[in-house]
């Protein structure tokens, strides 16, 4: 059998020690308890701090478990943080593509729009921020749903919004598997007739998918005559998702 990963074993040991020390522990305390050099312990603590699992006290001398560690079932990134990192990139995508751009994340089984950039053509448009979308029927939702392991966003009965909406769970599973392979999601008239969309997942720390960015427009602008999504738009969306994710990882 393959051996264990030593760095993960050590990080787990640090977390266990901190969990048993409500007043926190210093680098020397942890090093002595684990028989590790201070530099090694400091490196482990720095990584655990970056991912939000440990915090330092005001003096900086002691570490303790963060509140986030006790809420591992919840997302580590809130909507405001995702939106603030995505704004510039989403605005640029809308300007270059001429289409509506939205950023969303899964919340209690629904895809919630956290940022919305209007189509830059001065037409009358409604702001979608805060609205919810059915994740199985839109590209933005599929791009996140494909990487969701909770199962909360996959109801037993999938509601049909048009004749093209995927309502068969097995077919949806195949669609999401394709999204994981391709790295992007698409839909044509699955949510709104004559409209299509393209989206890509946004990956935060450790590669965790924290949301998605996508564009929506009339089907003749997003797809070709055979209803295939335009490669140039796919590339734009994927590049935007990668840029947002890079900002999230670098600034965390």
Closest alpha carbon to 103 in 122, 87, 92, 120 = 87
Q: Tell me the HSE value of 134 on the side-chain side, using a 13 A CA sphere.
A: 18
**Which residues of the chain register pLDDT less than 70?**
1-4, 70-77, 150-153, 155, 251-252
Torsion angle defined by CA atoms of residues 169, 206, 18 and 16, in that order, rounded to the nearest 10 degrees: 60
Closest alpha carbon to 204 in 115, 75, 113, 67 = 75
Closest alpha carbon to 102 in 85, 114, 88 = 114
Q: Which residues does 16 contact at the CB level (< 8 Å), separation at least 6?
A: none
Closest alpha carbon to 233 in 166, 162, 189, 185 = 185
What pTM was estimated for this model as a whole?
0.77
What percentage of the chain reaches a pLDDT higher than 90?
Answer: 56
Is the sign of the CA dihedral 119, 125, 130, 133 positive or negative?
negative
Convert the pLDDT of each residue in 104-140 to its tens digit: 998 888 899 999 999 988 788 888 888 999 999 999 9
65, β-bridge pairs: 54
User: What is the model's pLDDT at position 115?
Assistant: 95
Instruction: Give the chain's domains with CATH numbers.
Output: 6-71 (1.10.10.10), 79-251 (3.30.450.40)
User: What is the model's pLDDT at position 1?
Assistant: 41
Cα distances (Å, whole numbers) of residue 92 to 174, 202, 213, 237 = 32, 16, 12, 11
Convert the pLDDT of each residue in 221-252 to its tens digit: 999 999 999 999 999 999 999 999 999 877 65
Is the Cβ–Cβ distance between 44 and 11 less than 8 Å? yes
Q: Quote the CA–CA distance of 47 and 62 in Å, as a whole number.
A: 15
- Kindly give the residue spans of alpha helices, DSSP state H, lying in 35-187: 38-50, 79-97, 139-145, 169-182
Task: Find where tokens 């994981």 sit.
Answer: 180
Q: 101-127: string of b/e by CB count within 10 Å (b at 16+)?
A: bbbbbbeebbbbbbbbbbbeeeeeeee
Q: Quote the CA–CA distance of 203 and 4 in Å, as a whole number.
A: 26
């Amino acid at each position: 059998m393959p051996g264990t990963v030593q760095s993960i074993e050590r990080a787990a040991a640090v977390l266990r020690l901190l969990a048993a020390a409500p007043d926190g522990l210093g680098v020397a305390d942890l090093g002595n308890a684990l028989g590790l050099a201070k530099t090694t312990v400091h490196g482990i603590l720095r990584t655990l701090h970056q991912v939000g699992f440990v915090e330092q006290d005001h003096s900086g001398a002691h570490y303790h478990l963060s509140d986030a560690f006790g809420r591992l079932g919840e997302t580590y990134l809130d909507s405001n943080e995702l939106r603030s990192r995505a704004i510039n990139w989403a605005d640029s995508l809308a300007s270059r593509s001429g289409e509506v751009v939205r950023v969303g994340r899964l919340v209690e089984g629904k895809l919630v729009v956290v940022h919305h950039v209007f189509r830059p053509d001065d037409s009358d448009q409604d702001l979608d921020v805060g609205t919810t979308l059915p994740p199985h029927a839109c590209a933005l939702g599929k791009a996140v749903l494909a990487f969701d392991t909770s199962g909360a966003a996959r109801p037993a009965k999938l509601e049909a919004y048009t004749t093209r909406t995927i309502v068969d769970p097995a077919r949806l599973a195949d669609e999401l598997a394709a999204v994981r392979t391709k790295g992007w999601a698409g839909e044509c008239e699955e949510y709104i007739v004559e409209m299509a969309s393209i989206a890509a997942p946004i990956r935060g720390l450790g590669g965790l998918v924290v949301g998605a960015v996508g564009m929506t427009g009339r089907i003749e602008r997003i797809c070709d005559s055979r209803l295939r999504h335009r490669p140039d738009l796919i590339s734009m969306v994927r590049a935007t998702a990668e840029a947002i994710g890079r900002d999230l990882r670098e600034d965390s």
